[in-house]
């Protein structure tokens, strides 16, 4: 029998294992990422501060990753028990 | 209380203000700039021109935003600097005094110096004012001529194409951006531009901009041909705004000379950003980076030193990521002295360190949509250029920055049919673990 995950559960699981990480050295703060975020997260501010987008509202939709003209953003695995980053 | 004056509201000036405020919450910080729009993403202007973002998106932080620095701002042009009296004169707000001064005056677009340059319809891409002008003119612009061989010129081309303007792109040499790109790399970009119906004119320079009733109506080339157009967009390069420093007796060459602490020849005056020609103790050279991230880092280090710390500016390899005619391009470290016989101007989005290249062999591989060039030194990689697929760009940056010994894979890299990307990736994974 199939027990599909609810959207919310699936989302929480996704966030627990991966998030959007900026590479500040490539960023020119154009703001295309923030402008295209469907829920209005200021992704650019994360890039400025060099912090991953660990916002619990992040849909991990990948819109910011896809739209960034300088390849600043990428998904990275995260997790409490993950040793080494890649 | 120490009084800090920062001249310039670009990335270096802003970054210095941010650092000073963090180091000293009570400090008296004054920013002086003649740009009425303050701090915004200058490289982002290209995306405002193409319509990918609205103008307000260029501002990073609102006044009520998270990084309210409580910095006093004056919109004025600095006309005179007196290092002995520790004072500045401006065109609007009289004399200002400082204890420590940062000169982050940036660089300005170089003019063509030809007849007709002041006609309405001659534009550049230097600041927000320039984009506003282009957008106000574009409704009456059917065709434009763009000149210049670097990042800014191609941004002008793409912006005007996106705005529905027919673009003629004049290139002085055999191919696009010859002092940075090789022929195969440049042709990739030219193919994409031609696909967007840009008409490329190689070996072509403007002798005169033609006008009627003070408006651009065409250009005459150095060969004598006349081409009708409504706009001439110029992106031939930039020159550092060093005049005030020079007149004040500070040591200057191409830019304002600064030591590894970003201190100029006057110990209370610091320099950062596009105007600063910074000494690198490792190479023994002084060079200018016209790049956003180094500008930010320089502002931060200069501020630390202004506040009394002793921080060395460690130059990491210059990296820039560009979207050239839709092709993502990453340039890392030294990639060659190129071939361009004309007057040498630096361009925005470039670094003089890209040209410093002793005893190196270039090796390259590519397809129609991707290209990889490695500059192989005696024992290390000195530079790389990655176009299209960017998988390898981070490993390359790390390897070039860390000066990883590549002796074990050097023969592999120099084979004529080398799998460059794969060899580097495999070696990076091996050396990292």
- Chain B residue closest to A30 (CA)? B44
A69 touches chain B (CB under 8 A): yes
A59 falls within a domain: yes
A86 falls within a domain: no
Choosing from B208, B236, B264, the residue where a domain stops is: B236
Inter-chain CB proximity A25 and B52 less than 8 Å: no
Inter-chain CB proximity A71 and B43 less than 8 Å: no
> Rounded to whole angstroms, what are the CA distances from B136 to B11, B109, B124, B131, B233?
27, 20, 13, 9, 14
How far does A3 lie from chain B, in Å, by closest CA?
37
Within 8 A by CB and 6+ apart from B332, the residues are B317, B318, B319, B383, B384, B385, B386, B393, B396, B397, B400
Q: What is the number of domains present in chain B?
A: 3
Global ipTM: 0.86
What does the pLDDT profile of chain B (433 residues) look like in tens digits?
899 999 999 999 999 999 999 999 899 999 999 999 989 999 999 999 999 999 999 998 765 544 567 889 999 999 999 999 999 999 987 899 999 999 999 999 999 999 999 999 999 999 999 999 999 999 999 999 999 988 899 999 999 999 999 999 999 999 998 888 889 899 999 999 999 999 999 999 999 999 999 999 999 999 999 999 999 999 999 999 999 999 999 999 999 999 999 999 999 999 999 999 999 998 898 999 989 999 999 999 999 999 999 999 998 888 888 889 889 999 998 886 555 455 555 666 666 665 555 566 777 777 778 889 988 888 999 889 999 988 899 899 999 989 999 999 988 888 877 788 889 999 999 988 7
The closest of B386, B387, B388, B389 to B399, measured between CA atoms, is B386
Q: What is the number of domains present in chain A?
A: 1
Inter-chain CB proximity B47 and A48 less than 8 Å: no
Which CATH number do you get for residue B75? 3.50.50.60
Q: Rounded distance, CA B131 to CA B143, Å?
A: 17
- Asked if B122 and B231 sit in the same domain, the reply is yes
Give the position of tokens 């600064």. Answer: B258
A chain contacts of residue B47, beta-carbon cutoff 8 Å:
30, 32, 69
A67 falls within a domain: yes
Structural domain containing residue A48: 7-77
Q: Six-digit token pair at B413?
A: 């890299």
Which CATH number do you get for residue A56? 3.30.70.20
B104 falls within a domain: yes
A27 falls within a domain: yes
- Asked if B277 and B227 sit in the same domain, the reply is no
The closest of B80, B59, B81 to B14, measured between CA atoms, is B59
Structural domain containing residue B180: 111-236
Choosing from B249, B281, B306, the residue where a domain stops is: B306
- Asked if B80 and B222 sit in the same domain, the reply is no
Strand partners, B200: B169
Residues within 8 A of B (CB atoms), A 28-47 only:
28-32, 34-35, 44-45
- Asked if B220 and B259 sit in the same domain, the reply is no
Which CATH number do you get for residue B405? 3.30.390.30
The closest of B113, B339, B124, B344 to B206, measured between CA atoms, is B113
Ramachandran assignment for B332, one of left (phi > 0), alpha (psi -120 to 50 degrees), beta (any other):
beta
B chain contacts of residue A83, beta-carbon cutoff 8 Å:
none
Half-sphere exposure of B71 (CA within 13 A, CB side): 30
B28 falls within a domain: yes
A83 touches chain B (CB under 8 A): no
B145 falls within a domain: yes
Q: Rounded distance, CA B413 to CA B119, Å?
A: 52
B314 falls within a domain: no
Residue of B60, B320, B322 for testing the chain A interface, max A β-carbons within 10 Å: B60
B70 falls within a domain: yes
B390 touches chain A (CB under 8 A): yes
- Asked if B337 and B293 sit in the same domain, the reply is no
Choosing from B248, B272, B306, the residue where a domain stops is: B306
């Amino acid at each position: 029998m199939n027990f599909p995950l609810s959207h919310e559960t699936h989302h929480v699981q996704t966030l627990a294992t991966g998030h959007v990480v900026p590479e500040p050295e490539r960023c020119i703060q154009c703001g295309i990422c923030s402008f295209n975020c469907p829920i209005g997260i200021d992704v650019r501010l994360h890039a400025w501060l060099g912090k991953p987008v660990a916002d619990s509202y992040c849909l991990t939709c990948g819109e910011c990753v896809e739209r960034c003209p300088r390849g600043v953003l990428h998904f990275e695995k995260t997790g409490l028990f993950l040793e080494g980053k890649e | 209380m120490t009084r800090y004056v920062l001249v310039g509201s670009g990335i270096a000036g802003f970054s210095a203000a941010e650092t000073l405020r963090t180091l000293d919450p009570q400090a008296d910080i004054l920013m002086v700039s003649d740009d009425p729009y303050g701090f915004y993403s200058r490289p982002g202007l290209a995306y405002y021109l193409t319509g990918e973002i609205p103008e307000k998106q260029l501002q990073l932080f609102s006044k009520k935003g998270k990084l309210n620095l409580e910095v006093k701002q004056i919109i004025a042009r600095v006309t005179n600097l007196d290092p002995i009296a520790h004072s500045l004169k401006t065109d609007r707000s009289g004399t200002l005094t400082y204890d420590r001064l940062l000169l982050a005056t940036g660089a300005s677009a170089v003019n063509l110096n030809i007849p007709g340059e002041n006609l309405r319809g001659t534009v550049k891409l230097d600041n927000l004012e320039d984009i506003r002008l282009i957008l106000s003119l574009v409704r009456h612009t059917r065709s434009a001529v763009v000149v210049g061989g670097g990042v800014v010129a191609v941004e002008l081309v793409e912006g005007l194409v996106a705005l529905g303007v027919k673009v003629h792109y004049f290139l002085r040499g055999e191919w696009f951006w010859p002092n940075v790109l090789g022929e195969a790399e440049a042709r990739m970009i030219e193919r994409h531009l031609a696909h967007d119906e840009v008409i490329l004119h190689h070996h072509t320079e403007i002798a005169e901009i033609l006008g009627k009733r003070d408006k651009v109506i065409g250009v005459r080339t150095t060969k004598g041909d006349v081409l009708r157009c409504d706009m001439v967009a110029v992106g031939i390069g930039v020159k550092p705004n060093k005049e005030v420093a020079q007149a004040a007796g500070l040591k200057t060459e191409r830019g304002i000379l600064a030591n590894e602490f970003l201190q100029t020849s006057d110990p209370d005056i610091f320099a950062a950003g596009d105007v600063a020609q910074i000494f690198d103790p490792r190479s023994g050279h002084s060079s200018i980076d016209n790049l956003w991230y180094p500008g930010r880092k320089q502002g931060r280090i200069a501020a630390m030193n202004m506040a009394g710390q002793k921080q060395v500016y460690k130059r990491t390899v210059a990296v820039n990521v560009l979207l050239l005619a839709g092709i993502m391009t990453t340039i890392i470290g030294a990639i060659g002295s190129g071939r361009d016989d004309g007057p040498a101007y630096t361009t925005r989005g470039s670094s003089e360190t890209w040209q410093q290249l002793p005893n190196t062999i270039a090796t390259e591989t590519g397809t129609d949509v991707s290209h990889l060039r490695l500059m192989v030194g005696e024992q290390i990689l000195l530079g790389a250029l990655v176009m299209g697929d960017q998988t390898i760009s981070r490993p390359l940056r790390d390897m070039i920055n860390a000066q990883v010994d590549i002796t074990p894979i050097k023969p592999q890299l120099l084979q004529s049919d080398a799998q460059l990307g794969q060899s580097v990736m495999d070696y990076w994974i091996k050396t990292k673990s």
